[in-house]
Amino acid sequence: MKEIEITLESLNIRPNSEIRGMINVNYSGKYDSIVLNTQILNSNELMLFTSYNGKKISQKASRLFISKDSMPQNRAEFTAVISFDTDESHDVKFRASIIEQHKEIESDILFAKYS
């Protein structure tokens, strides 16, 4: 079993559709937070995070920080949207990392397709 694992409801992302995902932490050691980094490859566009664990946010960014205190049962659910039009498909990289005292302990990477 992975120390941290990211999953998405669908690996095929459409413009303006809700992206739903989950991060599960199975790390037995101490940690402070998790960070979700995203990158839309071959693009300068960013993802808009809309919520995590039921808390509404409106942050157009490539990074989402979640404190361990906000993660019941060591899991976090998030929603986001990508809203730019494109004639070509783009790979979207999701990278979830466990952070302890400003250091990355473990990470997981997942790729999805945006078109």
pLDDT band of 82, cuts 50, 70, 90? very high
- By the 10 Å C-beta count (0-12 exposed, 13-18 middle, 19+ buried), 54 is classed as exposed
Type and span of the H or E element at 61: strand 55-61
Burial level of 29, CB count in 10 A (0-12/13-18/19+)?
exposed
- Number of domains composing the chain: 1
Over residues 25-59, the pLDDT tens digits come to 999 889 999 999 999 999 999 888 999 998 998 76
Q: pTM for the complete prediction? A: 0.91
Domain that holds residue 98: 4-114
CATH code for the domain of 104: 2.60.40.10
